[in-house]
Amino acid sequence: MSKENKKEISALSKVPPEIGAFLDAKVKLYNQPSFITGDPICVPHAFSKKQDIEISGLFAAVLAWGNRTTIINNSRKLMEWMDNSPHDFLLHHHETDLKRFLRFAHRTFNATDLLYFIFFLRHHYSSSSTLEDAFVPGRHYREETVEQALIHFHNYFFSIEHPHRTRKHIATPARNSACKRMNMYLRWMVRHDNNGVDFGIWKKIKPRQLICPLDVHVARVAERLGMLDNIKSNWNNALHLTAQLKLLNPSDPAIYDYALFSLGAEERF
């Protein structure tokens, strides 16, 4: 984060209490088990093994653009092709087992991208027991936000020979991307409460370090609420929005993703 951005964020005015109360009410409404069924997070919720949750969650998050029913169906199809045991499949599959994946396509994510994801994940899990290590290689993560974790994951993901076209499917703050899908994935893995939607199976990153996933729905709602001055989906706006949300909940700003996304996608606020 640049010094200019830090200055701007530190100078943010207090969020009006009526806006905070409104968002808190929407969080209470949507942060419920009923949210799971129609959201891509339902895909990892089909699993109990930590590594299966991580892997299925990553695919569901990466495919999460477009129609949500199609996202869920295609993600589940991948899990079925991995015998509904993705961790075991990644570590022990044979070359002939990959033929079924050659006919996969979801928007611009095709078989070439999918086969590289499988190759990378096998490479990673051959020496690590958790995908969390791909974001935070050390024992602790002390940064203010997950910015450096996302940059590290992007660099690590493409540190072995890869198709150039696949680079567009893993965003990085280094290119001022909002990293919506990766921030959503981190929310799934890191956040934990008693409502049972997010998993909270990763402990190196803390909820206070998360960045609220920012897409066009969230940006439009945030602008209407006076929390952003434009609807651009970029990293700077993701930082600014999260800084506003930290004024409401310093320890868990990403919880407002439930409210902002649902207001935009479900209520057409």
140-191 pLDDT, tens digit per residue, is: 999 999 999 999 999 999 999 999 999 999 999 999 999 999 999 999 999 9
Structure tokens at 85: 């045991």
Question: So what's the pLDDT on residue 166?
Answer: 98
Q: For residue 27, is pLDDT > 90?
A: yes
Predicted TM-score (pTM) of the model is 0.94
Nearest to 198 by CA among 130, 136, 254: 254
What span, in angstroms and rounded, lies between the C-alpha atoms of 182 and 158?
A: 15
If DSSP codes are grouped into helix, strand and coil, which group holds residue 79? helix
Would strands 105-106 and 109-110 be described as parallel, antiparallel, or unpaired?
Answer: antiparallel
User: Within a 10 A sphere around the Cβ of 219, how many other Cβ atoms?
Assistant: 24
Place of tokens 């203010």: 144
What are residue 10's DSSP bridge partners? none
Name the helix (H) or strand (E) containing 258.
helix 257-265
Neighbour tally for 244: CB within 10 Å? 23
Strands (E), 46-136: 105-106, 109-110
